[in-house]
Structures are given as C-alpha cells and as structure tokens.
Amino acid sequence: MAKKDAYSADQIQVLEGLEPVRKRPGMYIGSTDVRGLHHCVYEIVDNSVDEAMAGHCDTIIVTMHDDGSISVEDNGRGIPVDIHPKKKLPALEIVLTTLHAGGKFGGDDSGYKVSGGLHGVGSSVVNALSDKMRAEVYRDGNVYHQEYKRGKTQYALKTEGKTKKNGTKIQFWPDGTIFDTLEFSMTTLLTRFRQQCYLTRGITVALLDERQKRPEEDKNHPRLYRFSFEGGIAAYVRHLNESKEAVGSPIWFEKDTDDGMVEVGLQYTQSFQEHVVSFANNIHTTEGGHHLSGFKAAITRTINAYARKGGFLKEKEENLTPDDVREGLTAVISVRLKEPQFEGQTKAKLGNAEMKTAVEQVVNEKLAEYLEEHPAEAKEIIGKCSLAARARLAARAARDSVIRKGALEGMTLPGKLADCSSRDPSESEIFIVEGDSAGGSAKQGRNRKFQAILPLRGKILNVEQARLDRMLANNEIKSLIIAMGIGIGEIKDLSKLRYHRIVIMTDADVDGAHIRTLLLTLFYRYFPELIEAGYLYIAQPPLYKISKGKDQRYAYTDEQKEIILTDMGVNPNDEQDSGAIEETEETEEAEETEEEGEAKTKKKSRANIQRYKGLGEMNPDQLWETTMDPENRIMLRVTMEDIEAADNVFSTLMGPEVPPRKKFIQTHAKGVKNLDI
C-alpha cells in the first residue's frame, strides 16, 4: 500500500471538552438556523422550569438585551458552587463546561425527581455555541460569578458582594460564526413560555424586551409580558379553542402512577380537524411518542365502550374508528417521569414504552368516570363522533371515486394538467396557477422537462368548513389530488408524490391572496407532511417592470422599485404610474420645438413603469425569466415553526366564527402593506 493511502492511529481525531458541539452543532440543537438559536434559550429556561417542578422556584425572568444577548434568571436554589470531590472544580464550572454533567441523571440522591432532562448537556451546549456566557449564582448569601468564551472558562469562580436572594442568572451571546441569524423573536419566545406556564401551575415567567431596534413581527407586542395560569392544562385547552365553537367544557384529570404522573385536558369542538399536543417533563414532543399512542388508543376504546353500553351504537353497527373519535378534538397530554428517554437531543419523541400503558390506564379510568357522571355532555360527544362516522362513510365513497377517476385516466391525469416529461419526483415541480390566462402564459414559458402546470378555475372550496366528502366533490381540489398522485385520508402514500416542489403561483392582488390562502388551508389540514418535508412553495412574481431606454429591470416590492429608479437616475417621487409617465413622455410638439433641449433632458430622466396586476399580463418569456427560471426566480418555502400558532390562524381566518376573525383584522390592519383594493 502506498504511504499516502496509509490509515493509522495518528489520523484519528479526538475532540475534547465542548469541541464536538462546535464541530457538529446540529447534533445537539437540531440546526443552526433560527430554530436552533431559539432552542438555546429553551435549554436554559428548561433548567429553571425543572427547579419549579422540583418545588424550589416560582419566578423566571427572561430579558432580551440590546447587545444581542439573552439572560435567564430564576429564584431557585442556585447551581451549586462548592468543589466537586472528583473533578476538584466548582460544580457550576463543571455543569457549564462539561457534557453529561448535571443533577438530572436519576438515582435517589439526584437533584431532581423529574426534569426536562436535557441529557445533562443543555447548559454546556449553549455555552459552547456562545461567543460569551456569564453565570451568576445567588446562594448562601453571596453572589458568585464566572465567564466563559466559546465554552472555555475565562477566570476562576469569583465571589462579589452579598445578597438576600437565591437563584441563578445565565446570560449568553450567541456565536455569529455558528448561527445563521442572531435575531431573537419575541413572538416565538412568547409561545414557548405561555406553554410552560400552562403546564406548570403556580409558575410565573416574565419576558422583557430591552432592544432598541425590534423585528417587524415583534412591534405589535408590548415590551414586557408576564404569564401565570392557575387553570393549568384545562386553561391551555380553552386557549387553544378560543377561535373555535366548543362542545361542552374542557375535561381535565390527572393521576400519579408507578411509572410517572399523567395529566390530560381535552375538549371537543365543531371543527373537523383534531389538535392534539403532547409533553414529557414540560418538553413539547412534536413527534409524539408512547404517551401519545397510549392516549389515542385509550380514548377510542373508552368512547366505543360507553357508546355500546349506552345503546348509542347498535349491535350490528361498526365501532367508531380512531379518526371518528378524534374529529374536532383538542387535547393536551402531559406526563412527568423520572428517567425520560427522548429520541434525539431536541426531544421530538418520547421513547419510554411504559408510558403508553400508564396513559392508557389513566385515560380509560378517568374518562369513563367523567362520561358516567356527565351524561348530557357524554351524549353530545357521542353525537359528534357518530356524525363524523357517517361523514367518513360518505367521504370514503367520494374518495374512492377520485381514486377510480385517477386510475381510469391512467398517465394522462387531469385534462387541464400540462405535465412535465421527467418522471423523477426529485427534479420535477408543479405550478398551481390562477386561471386559464396565467395558465396559458405559464405553459408557454415553462421548461417542459421538469415543470408541470395546473391551472385552477376560480376559488377552491374552503376546507376549514367542509368535511372530506364535500371537499372531494370540488373539481379543482380533485384535479390537484390526482395530479400530486399521493391520494388522501387513509390511503395517503407520500412515496407516490410525483413532484418534490409544489409551487402556488397566484396574482399579486386580493383575489390572488385569497386563492393562495385557500390552497394553504388545504395543504395544512390534509397534507401537512408536504409542508414538514419542505415540498410546498409560494412563487414571487414581480410587481413592476421598469424600463429606461434599453435598461429593463423587475421590482418585487415597492422598496425595490425606488432603489431601481434611483439607480437609473430617476427621482422616485416623480414616477406615479405607467399611464402618467406615458402621457408625460408624449409632450406637445410646439413645446419641444421651442424648448428642445429642456424636453430632451426631461425625457431622458423618465422611466416607464409597468404594474403587473396579474400573471396573465406577462408574456411567457417574462414569466419564465422572473418567476419560473431556477437561475433567477425567488420562491418562499412554506414552513410550520409553530403548529399551535398555525392552527389558531387557520381556525380564526377560515373557520365559521366571525368575531375572532373581525378582531384579528382590526388588530393587524395597520400592518398591511401593498393593500390592493
């Protein structure tokens, strides 16, 4: 073997201390984008929440400082500062500079009975990914402090002054060489802290924004928020259903089991979508886990048993399915256990199998008791589930007709679809366009190899207020489902998706925005997996074409238009609209002869601005160049950062309740830009 190909021990890298975190940050906080940035705050706050769950803390103050840092202060016991017997260093320094060091690894002598766990790495990971961190501990009447730079201790633990308070304050400055953005969002943090206060009764979390320049989305919020909810999970369920028509009052129960504490809140609504969220030791398990599986199995079994016993289900009738039972259900499941096993450091899924049995037993027992003790509410719930079952049977017939239609049409698919020649989903994309005019331009301007065009006629059905059977009777929705190829409902199969880029391309006016919203509602409610996988996009066609002589440019916003005009040497204040400009350029001949030099100068200083009201106004080559060409186009990827907020927005804007929608419009009206009436 040649020497250059040798593979020996000296080529093996050993990363020490916190180096692995800086080398592979995504392994510890999920990503280095805005989600990872906020995850750092959650890690520190979760430590304080653990103190609260252990009964030693009731107030947490989070401050967003003007220098880009964030501090988290609690009134807990304070991280220990005494010397560790083995490491011969202060416990504070070990916790903040060593992976897998902390008081949360179980055992009878551990510092916590239950905790968010953080696998003992949370604080040290944040330290490693911070340009600077400062820790202050208020304990035994003293103030202790220590600073770190990218995870490395800057000086030995110091004592400075006396204090009567107890607790810990951690302030950190995220490292700009690690994170894509350093801008924290008050809106994002508020959602998280509200959750924590609902889940931990008696705790108060305050969020203070001291930044001079605030992001646009935060300007609608006061600079100080304080959360505290004595109603706990029942209040949380009520909050989630604010914009929905509820069935009865929230049902709440909790019980300690040998495997951990189980707490559940639930309430039915008249909507057609379920909204179930789960937590383990106050950590939001976005991908569920065994506790969520136990809840779903138990609620189906319990409601079917009650319906049989009460004669609501006849002897020959089929049982209610899980989908029937969960239609319109809002539920919060919270479990607390001693040694949580999460899948991944970001704790998206709970892996403790014993919690499935624990949750099942508690829900079976407590929900059955509630139904027996509240016959009127029970009858209303069973009626809601039975109606869902009848709608399911009707939807099955409608869905089967869609599948049959798709099979009969074979590879031709819907007649209006101009398909691409490629059969590789990873390189194929479909543009959903508004109307035949825009569809015609898009079909002529596209790259036929990988771009498909599906024109929609008119506005699709608002699926927020319709069940599957009525939805599938809508021809435009039916065509879209067949074109995508993945089916819907029980037979949905993402592996059959024909395009990995689904692009909504509508006009830049009120009707276009409405159609876009209707389509987003469809995808959010029936195809959320496509959003989570990053397959859904919104095209950004230009608003203006600006011409001056041979110089032609496109502007996508009013701000861009002004920049382009200035760059062309034109005063933006002189340019009102294309009609006015054309009239100005056609100056009278008499004037030109008398003041020829002045007229020519005036003409040279003017630009022609064309405002595009619709995609159909654009020539095929213009549409390709500005909106469809992968080399030049701008597209927005649709994401769901906050499922709770997304659910609330769709329920408010697209649901049947008018007052919440009116309130939303009044609140946000002043922030609307480019309103086209």
Name the band, by pLDDT with cuts 50, 70 and 90, for residue 145: very high
Chain centre distance of CA 85 = 45
Highest mean pLDDT pick, 70-74, 231-235, 612-616? 70-74
Copy the structure tokens of residue 345: 């450091």
Instruction: Mark whether 419 is an active-site residue.
Output: no
CA distance 39 to 122: 10
Assess contact for 432 and 515: CB atoms under 8 A: no
Name the band, by pLDDT with cuts 50, 70 and 90, for residue 410: very low
CA distance 352 to 356: 8
Q: What are the φ/ψ torsions at residue 267 (nearest 5 degrees)? A: -160, 140
Q: What is the pLDDT of residues 91-103, one digit of tens each?
A: 899 889 888 655 5
Q: What is the pLDDT of residues 620-664, one digit of tens each?
A: 998 998 899 999 898 989 887 656 666 667 767 777 667 777 766
- What is the distance between the terminal CA atoms of the chain, rounded to a whole angstrom? 75
Name the band, by pLDDT with cuts 50, 70 and 90, for residue 612: confident
Assess contact for 82 and 144: CB atoms under 8 A: no
Name the band, by pLDDT with cuts 50, 70 and 90, for residue 11: very low
Catalytic residue among 131, 323, 436, 511: 511
CATH topology for 232-391 is Ribosomal Protein S5; domain 2 (3.30.230)
**Residue 581: CA count within 13 A, CB half-sphere:** 21
Catalytic residue among 218, 263, 434, 647: 434
CA dihedral 359, 364, 369, 372 (to 10 degrees): 150
Q: What is the pLDDT of residues 478-502, one digit of tens each?
A: 889 889 988 887 778 888 999 999 9
* 562 exposure class (CB count in 10 Å sphere: 0-12, 13-18, 19+): middle
**398 vs 580, residue with greater confidence:** 398
Instruction: Mark whether 180 is an active-site residue.
Output: no
Q: What is the pLDDT of residues 153-191, one digit of tens each?
A: 999 999 988 999 999 999 999 999 999 999 999 988 998
Chain centre distance of CA 494 = 21
Highest mean pLDDT pick, 110-114, 250-254, 343-347? 250-254
Residues with Cβ < 8 Å from 465, sequence gap 6 or more?
654, 655, 656
Three-state secondary structure call for residue 451: strand
CA distance 552 to 548: 7
Q: What is the mean pLDDT of the chain?
A: 83
Report the amino acid identity of residue 570: V
Q: Write down the pLDDT at residue 330.
A: 95
Share of the chain above pLDDT 70, in %: 82
Highest mean pLDDT pick, 163-172, 242-251, 597-606? 163-172
**216 vs 358, residue with greater confidence:** 358
**171 vs 232, residue with greater confidence:** 171
Q: Write down the pLDDT at residue 577.
A: 45
Report the amino acid identity of residue 284: H
Name the band, by pLDDT with cuts 50, 70 and 90, for residue 504: very high
Q: What is the mean pLDDT of residues 5-9?
A: 46
Catalytic residue among 287, 509, 574, 592: 509
Q: State the Rg of the chain over Cα.
A: 30
Of 255, 249, 279, 253, the closest CA to residue 267 belongs to: 249
Q: Write down the pLDDT at residue 514.
A: 87
CA distance 495 to 90: 54
Q: What is the pLDDT of residues 355-391, one digit of tens each?
A: 999 999 999 999 999 999 999 999 999 999 998 888 8
CATH 3.30.230.10 positions along the chain are: 232-391
**668 vs 539, residue with greater confidence:** 539
In the block, which residue shows the tokens 């083995």? 86
Instruction: Mark whether 511 is an active-site residue.
Output: yes
- Residue 307's H or E segment, with its range, is helix 290-309
Strand ranges inside 91-245, DSSP E: 130-139, 142-149, 152-153, 158-162, 167-174, 204-209, 224-227
Q: Write down the pLDDT at residue 422.
A: 93
**What are residue 547's DSSP bridge partners?**
552, 608
User: How many CB atoms lie under 10 A from the CB of residue 27?
Assistant: 13
**590 vs 158, residue with greater confidence:** 158
Q: Write down the pLDDT at residue 2.
A: 47
Q: What is the mean pLDDT of residues 423-440?
A: 91
Q: What is the mean pLDDT of residues 10-18?
A: 50
Q: Write down the pLDDT at residue 346.
A: 60
Q: Write down the pLDDT at residue 121.
A: 57
Name the band, by pLDDT with cuts 50, 70 and 90, for residue 610: confident
**What are residue 204's DSSP bridge partners?**
59
| The pLDDT of residue 405 is above 70 | no
Residues with Cβ < 8 Å from 165, sequence gap 6 or more?
75, 138
In this structure, of 176-185, 288-297, 312-321, 595-604, the range with the lowest mean pLDDT score is 595-604
User: How many CB atoms lie under 10 A from the CB of residue 378?
Assistant: 21
- Residue 189's H or E segment, with its range, is helix 186-199
Share of the chain above pLDDT 90, in %: 40
CA distance 212 to 631: 38
Copy the structure tokens of residue 524: 């959010």
Structure pTM? 0.66
CA distance 291 to 366: 16
Q: What are the φ/ψ torsions at residue 581 (nearest 5 degrees)? A: -70, -45
CA distance 352 to 439: 52
CATH 3.30.565.10 positions along the chain are: 19-227
In this structure, of 389-403, 504-518, 523-537, 553-567, the range with the lowest mean pLDDT score is 389-403
β-strand pairing of 429-434 with 329-336: unpaired
CATH of domain 413-541+636-647: 3.40.50.670
The CATH classification of domain 19-227, taken from the options 3.30.565.10, 1.10.760.10, 3.40.640.10, 1.25.40.10: 3.30.565.10
Name the band, by pLDDT with cuts 50, 70 and 90, for residue 590: very low
Assess contact for 657 and 243: CB atoms under 8 A: yes
Catalytic residue among 136, 419, 507, 647: 507
Copy the structure tokens of residue 395: 């939807």
| The pLDDT of residue 12 is above 80 | no
CATH 3.40.50.670 positions along the chain are: 413-541+636-647
CA distance 137 to 140: 10
Residues with Cβ < 8 Å from 415, sequence gap 6 or more?
none
Q: What is the mean pLDDT of residues 129-143?
A: 95
Instruction: Mark whether 509 is an active-site residue.
Output: yes
